[in-house]
């Protein structure tokens, strides 16, 4: 079996008394686009910096190609990082910035220049090669930063929230630049972000971190459709999280009774809870149905419409159940026109049995 490109084995990082990363285990294969996502302070940037050798793990090992990297200094690793601040050298031109890594590797001047210009050309900014960094726009700087990291032909590229300073339109464009680059080069991208849309749009696999732990690893679809726990379900959003006490357990199903009613869901891979535990399940907003007539389904919550929000052709309806909790339904605009919500005082939110996703007790 081929060793994975990167492996974190029980990695812990402490800063004095503060534990930034606690017992992290995961692997990254060659050629993968992995996003590490989580709220600020979850340890995602620390994880990335350890991979670059800018922080040393307090415990555990980080391996690359099966080799323990803990004692390899940053400058001896081929793990270029695209910084959140970009960290371009302000006293050098765009071309000189790109040449930096090559010069450090002892590449001759003429070859440095040729390869730097080739990459600037590839990033479509060759006309700015001799410009000072300060005179470039945000998007152009971004491309210089990418060229500077990729010119050394690494097998892995680390990115630390590189798009956070750009405006929304530019973010979308840079996302397609990044995904295309990653596919063309066939190298591994490790992308740290707090933005779900960036992670889901680009990554093959998403690692969700919370307070130094890994909460879930999976494809964007897995994480969106099957959040493993309450943290992921809440972080990913767009979910209706329904809580209650466990009243009945059977093989692979559990009945949860709360203020919204009593519902039975599949336990999936979770351990069966005990009776009386407080357990939760989610119904994704886009899998929930809305109607004005009470449907026959067993999974119905009566509620009233609070507001609607249009984002392009998608509409999100915000509903309030009788106990005051807020629920969401997301549907296509053209589907909404089929439901006459205006005249109804009570609407019904419902879902098919298979769309209730159990997320365990906590």
Partner 1 sequence: MTDNRTLRWFLFAYLALVFVFIFAPIFFSVVFSFNSDRFPTIPLGNFTLKWYQTVWNDPDVWEAARTSLTVSLSTATIATALGFATAYTDYRYSFRLKPIYLGLVLLPPTIPLIIMALAMLAWFAKLGISGQVMSIIIAHSVLTAPFAMAIIRLRLSQMDPSLEAAAWNLGANEWSAMRRVIVPFCRPAIISSFCLTAAVSFDEFAISWFVSGLNKTIPVIILEIVTGNIDPQVNAIGSFVFLVSMTLVIIAQVVLMTRRKKEN
Q: Which residues bind partner 1 (CB under 8 A)?
A: 52-54, 73-76, 79-81, 83-85, 87-92, 100-101, 104-105, 132, 134, 148-149, 152
Q: Is residue 281 a contact partner of residue 240, using CB atoms and an 8 Å limit?
A: no
Nearest CA among 60, 62, 8, 2 for reference residue 31 = 2
Angle at 201 between CA 241 and CA 22, to 5 degrees: 65
CB of 112 to partner 1, least distance (A): 12
Residue 325 phi/psi, 5-degree rounding, is -75, 150
- Indicate the residue among 83 and 318 with the shorter CB distance to partner 1: 83
- Indicate the residue among 132 and 335 with the shorter CB distance to partner 1: 132
d(CA 126, CA 115): 12
CB of 239 to partner 1, least distance (A): 36
Q: Is residue 260 a contact partner of residue 301, using CB atoms and an 8 Å limit?
A: yes
CB of 40 to partner 1, least distance (A): 17
Write out the two tokens for 161: 């929230």
- Indicate the residue among 4 and 101 with the shorter CB distance to partner 1: 101
- Indicate the residue among 52 and 56 with the shorter CB distance to partner 1: 52
Helix (H, G, I), strand (E, B) or coil at 181: helix
Measured CA to CA in angstroms, residue 33 lies from 27, 140, 150, 166, 209 at distances of: 12, 23, 15, 21, 17
Write out the two tokens for 125: 């900014």
d(CA 227, CA 236): 8
- Indicate the residue among 84 and 249 with the shorter CB distance to partner 1: 84
CB of 83 to partner 1, least distance (A): 5
CB of 19 to partner 1, least distance (A): 20
CB of 133 to partner 1, least distance (A): 9
Rg (CA), the chain: 25
CB of 55 to partner 1, least distance (A): 10
Mapping DSSP onto H, E and C, the string for 39-99 reads CCCCCHHHHHHHHHCCCCCCEEEEEECCEECCCCCHHHCCCCEECCCCCCCCCCEHHHHHH
- Indicate the residue among 160 and 198 with the shorter CB distance to partner 1: 160
Give the burial class of 274: count Cβ atoms within 10 A of its Cβ; 0-12 exposed, 13-18 middle, 19 or more buried: exposed
- Indicate the residue among 100 and 318 with the shorter CB distance to partner 1: 100
- Indicate the residue among 80 and 220 with the shorter CB distance to partner 1: 80
CB of 44 to partner 1, least distance (A): 16
- Indicate the residue among 111 and 353 with the shorter CB distance to partner 1: 111
Nearest CA among 300, 307, 243, 252 for reference residue 277 = 243
CB of 135 to partner 1, least distance (A): 9
């Amino acid at each position: 079996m081929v060793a994975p490109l990167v492996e974190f084995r029980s990695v812990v990082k402490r800063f004095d008394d503060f534990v930034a990363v606690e017992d992290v285990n995961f692997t990254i294969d060659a050629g993968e686009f992995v996003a590490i996502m989580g709220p600020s302070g979850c340890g995602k940037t620390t994880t990335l910096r350890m991979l670059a050798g800018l922080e040393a793990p307090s415990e555990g090992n980080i391996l690359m190609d099966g080799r323990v990297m803990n004692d390899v200094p940053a400058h001896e690793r081929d793990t270029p990082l695209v910084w959140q601040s970009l960290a371009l050298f302000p006293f050098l031109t765009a071309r000189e910035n790109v040449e930096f890594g090559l010069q450090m590797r002892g590449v001759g001047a003429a070859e440095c220049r040729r390869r730097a210009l080739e990459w600037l050309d590839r990033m479509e900014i060759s006309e700015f090669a001799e410009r000072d960094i300060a005179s470039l726009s945000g998007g152009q700087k971004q491309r210089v930063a990418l060229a500077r990291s990729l010119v050394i032909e690494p097998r892995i590229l680390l990115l630390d929230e590189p798009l956070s300073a750009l405006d929304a339109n530019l973010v979308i464009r840079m996302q397609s630049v990044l995904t295309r680059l990653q596919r063309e080069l066939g190298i591994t991208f490790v992308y740290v972000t707090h933005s779900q849309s960036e992670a889901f749009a680009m990554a093959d696999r998403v690692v969700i971190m919370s307070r130094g732990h890994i909460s879930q690893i999976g494809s964007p679809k897995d994480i969106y459709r099957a959040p493993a726990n309450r943290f992921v379900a809440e972080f990913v959003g767009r979910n209706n999280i329904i809580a209650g006490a466990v009243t009945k357990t059977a093989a692979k199903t559990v009945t949860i009774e709360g203020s919204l009613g009593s519902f039975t869901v599949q336990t999936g891979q979770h351990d069966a809870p005990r009776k009386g535990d407080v357990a939760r399940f989610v119904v994704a907003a886009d899998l929930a149905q809305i109607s004005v007539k009470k449907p026959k389904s067993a999974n119905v919550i009566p509620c009233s419409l609070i507001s609607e929000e249009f984002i392009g052709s998608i509409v999100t309806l915000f509903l309030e159940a009788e106990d005051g909790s807020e629920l969401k339904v997301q549907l296509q605009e053209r589907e909404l026109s089929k439901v006459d919500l205006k005249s109804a005082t009570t609407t019904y939110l419902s879902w098919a049995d298979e769309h209730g996703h159990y997320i365990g007790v906590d």
